[in-house]
Chain A
């Protein structure tokens, strides 16, 4: 079974600075998808970014980018120019590709605080 580990229960960053959230996963599959979801105090789950394992290029969405290291099974999220609205719980998630393996496996989350 796949597992997702987020080793940082909490992180903090100064407004306008850069922060990196860590995520590692364990799988025997070669093709899969990785996601970062954001959960603000409203508890809504918001997709931040996703990465297909077959793509070598790291995904980027505006101020959010990932460092995907397939051999190391690492998938970190970098937030540049942090804003107060980035404060939230961030979850890393894994999903197999194809077949019937559609369920998302989540890590326990990292609580990000942004200091003004």
Chain B
């Protein structure tokens, strides 16, 4: 059973460009979470999605950031007009349900560098 897949692993963008980060959850998992890790920091929650629904985006910046999890295909975290402060590692996690007993399994992360 393949784990959580994220691509690309490394992404370099110039200021003002768009970044698209993809996440394919583990087989049988229908819940996806995105976290951001700034240098020397722990992971911070950004957004929680189920298929075709955003459940909680309270941790996501109000501007330039958006996320989706379509009926078919991976979840996408989109950052428009990137700035240097967006440079970070972005992790996706998945779980089979929203129940509190379910553990979140993480992907390898995407390291975004903004030049």
Contacts and interface: CB of A to CB of B under 8 A. Distances in A.
A56 interface: no
A91 to B, nearest CB: 6
Interface in B58-115: 59, 89, 91, 93, 95, 98-101, 103-106, 108-109, 111
A108 B48 contact: no
Contact of A33 (B35, B101, B105, B109): B101
Given A44-B108, A47-B105, A91-B43, A103 B100 contact: no
A71 to B, nearest CB: 21
Given A107-B42, A108-B42, A44 B106 contact: yes
Most central of B59, B89, B104 by chain A CB within 10 Å: B104
B29 to A, nearest CB: 13
Interface of B: 31, 33, 35, 40-45, 48, 55-56, 59, 89, 91, 93, 95, 98-101, 103-106, 108-109, 111
Interface stretch (A12-20, A58-66, A78-86, A93-101): A93-101
Interface residues of A, number: 30
B104 A33 contact: no
A103 B42 contact: no
Contacts of B98: 100, 102
B7 to A, nearest CB: 14
Interface string A29-73: 001110101000011111100101000000000000000000000
B88 to A, nearest CB: 12
Given A33-B101, A103-B45, A105-B45, 16 more contacts: A4-B42, A42-B108, A43-B108, A44-B106, A47-B103, A52-B101, A97-B101, A98-B99, A98-B100, A102-B56, A102-B95, A103-B33, A104-B93, A106-B43, A108-B40, A108-B42
A100 B109 contact: no
Contacts of B31: 102
Contacts of A32: 100
A100 B56 contact: yes
A50 B55 contact: no
A108 B43 contact: no
Contacts of B104: 104
